[in-house]
Amino acid sequence: MNLIGSFQLKNKRIAAKKLGKEAVYNEFSKRATNYKNVYDAQTGFM
């Protein structure tokens, strides 16, 4: 998962919430945080 994918999932998550699709919202919420797997806290870069 890269930053662009995470950003797209965040937007899809917002749309799912507005449409009342809680299961989709929850799934996208989990997947949208995958950017943390490529974040280096020491350097502050992805």
The residue that leads in pLDDT, 11 or 36, is: 11
In this predicted structure, what is the pLDDT of residue 21?
96
Q: pTM of whole model > 0.85?
A: no
Count the Cβ atoms, other than its own, within 10 Å of residue 1: 14
What span, in angstroms and rounded, lies between the C-alpha atoms of 40 and 28? 23
Q: Look at the block and give the residue holding tokens 């797997």.
A: 37
